[in-house]
């Protein structure tokens, strides 16, 4: 019976191949995605509390693209064309969102509606300022507490909000002194957003228990305030 089934299946297939019935014309190939557009600000992990969202990036091989921002509930925060200038683009958007924290997707698309591929896509969180923690805050997100790390340098990542002048100090130290320090300028044009940051600090040959501090300087008193501290273990190779 099984053999008969396969024979009938083959015969039916051959008959279909020899049929004079016209086939459906092939679907037209969609136009290619021309050029490149990247979203460089905000960065992944950012939380937007300000009434205005500043978005920027780079653009190559194309003059104009479509920027689309939409929440997961389908609320469109922006949909329009952006023109690049000298390889860069930016847009300030009054988004009018005043609800609870929700994910929104920033998309850079072709202006040709036939092109389904996207240039770039970035998820962020957006929320009314009433959901923001009060004051100045910052956290080290990577490495994590007591993580074993190694190498000539360490990549440190975190988030910060409300920092005066957007200047954040990242320090690597041990009990007897400083190993390395870097002051970075945060990508946080309205200061109240929680924006992600990264920095690379040198280990300078140190091995053992170490601490990562992040701090800001009060412009009125010129005093340094530690926002977060974690301990790590530096070895000869990453754990």
In which element (H, E) is residue 55 found? strand 52-60
Please report how many Cα atoms fall inside a 13 Å half-sphere around the Cα of residue 32, on the Cβ side: 5
Q: Are residues 145 and 215 in the same domain?
A: yes
pLDDT at 28: 58
**Does a structural domain hold residue 17?**
no
Distance set, CA 232 to CA 97, 98, 141, 227, 235 (Å): 39, 39, 12, 17, 10
pLDDT (tens, 9 = 90+) of the chain, 239 residues, equals 433 333 343 344 444 444 444 556 555 577 899 999 999 999 999 999 999 999 999 999 999 999 999 999 999 999 999 999 999 999 999 999 999 999 999 999 999 999 999 999 999 999 999 999 999 999 999 999 999 999 999 999 999 999 999 999 999 999 999 999 999 999 999 999 999 999 999 999 999 999 999 999 999 899 999 999 999 999 986 44
| 148 shares its domain with 171 | yes
pLDDT of residue 236: 80
How confident is the model at residue 24, as a pLDDT? 63
Which helix (H) or strand (E) segment is 161 a member of?
A: strand 153-161
Q: Residue 132 has what pLDDT? A: 97
Asked whether residue 192 falls in the same domain as residue 110, the answer is no
Contact 194, 126 (CB under 8 A): no
Please tell me whether the peptide bond between 186 and the residue prior to it is cis, using omega within 30 degrees of 0: no
Task: Give the separation between CA 139 and CA 196, rounded to whole angstroms.
Answer: 9
| Residues 125 and 180 both lie in one domain | no
- 212 and 232 Cβ atoms separated by less than 8 Å: yes
- Calpha distance 80→67 (Å, rounded): 6
Residue ending a domain, choose from 100, 131, 162:
131
Contact 95, 69 (CB under 8 A): yes
What is the total count of domains within the chain? 2
Count other Cβ atoms within 10 Å, centred on residue 99.
13
Same domain, 148 and 220: yes
Asked if residue 28 belongs to a domain, the reply is no
Q: Give the pLDDT score at 49.
A: 98
Is-contact 112 31, C-beta < 8 A?
A: yes
The CATH number of the domain where 199 resides is what?
2.60.40.10
pLDDT for res 56: 98
For 144, the domain range is: 137-235
Report helix, strand or coil for 166.
helix
CA 239 distance to own-chain centroid: 26
Q: CA-CA distances (angstroms) from residue 103 to 33, 39, 57, 79, 196? A: 27, 17, 20, 17, 16
pLDDT at 81: 98
Domain boundary among the residues 131, 157, 189 is at 131
**Using alpha carbons only, how large is the chain's radius of gyration in Å?**
26
User: What's the confidence (pLDDT) of residue 27?
Assistant: 56
pTM value is 0.81
Residues 98 and 170 in one domain: no
């Amino acid at each position: 019976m099984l053999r008969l089934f396969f024979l009938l299946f083959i015969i039916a297939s051959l008959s279909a191949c020899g049929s004079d019935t016209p086939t459906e014309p092939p679907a037209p190939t969609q136009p290619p995605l021309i050029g490149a557009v990247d979203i460089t600000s905000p960065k992944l992990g950012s939380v937007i509390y300000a009434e205005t969202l500043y978005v920027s990036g780079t653009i190559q091989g194309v003059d104009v693209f479509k920027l689309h921002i939409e929440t997961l509930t389908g609320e469109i925060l922006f949909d329009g064309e952006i023109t690049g200038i000298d390889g860069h683009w930016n847009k300030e958007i009054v988004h009018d969102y005043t609800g609870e924290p929700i994910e929104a997707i920033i998309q850079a698309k072709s202006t040709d509606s036939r092109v389904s591929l996207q240039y770039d896509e970035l998820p962020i969180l957006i929320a009314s300022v009433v959901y923001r923690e009060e004051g100045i805050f910052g956290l080290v997100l990577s490495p994590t507490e007591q993580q074993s790390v190694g190498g000539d340098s360490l990549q440190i990542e975190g988030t910060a909000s409300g920092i005066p002048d957007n200047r954040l100090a990242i320090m690597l130290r041990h009990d007897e002194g400083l190993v390395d320090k870097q002051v970075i300028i945060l990508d946080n044009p309205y200061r109240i957003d929680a924006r992600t940051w990264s920095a690379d600090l040198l280990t300078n040959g140190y091995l053992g228990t170490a601490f990562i501090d992040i701090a800001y300087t009060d412009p009125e008193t010129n005093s340094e305030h530690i926002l977060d501290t974690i301990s790590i273990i530096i070895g000869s190779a990453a754990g």
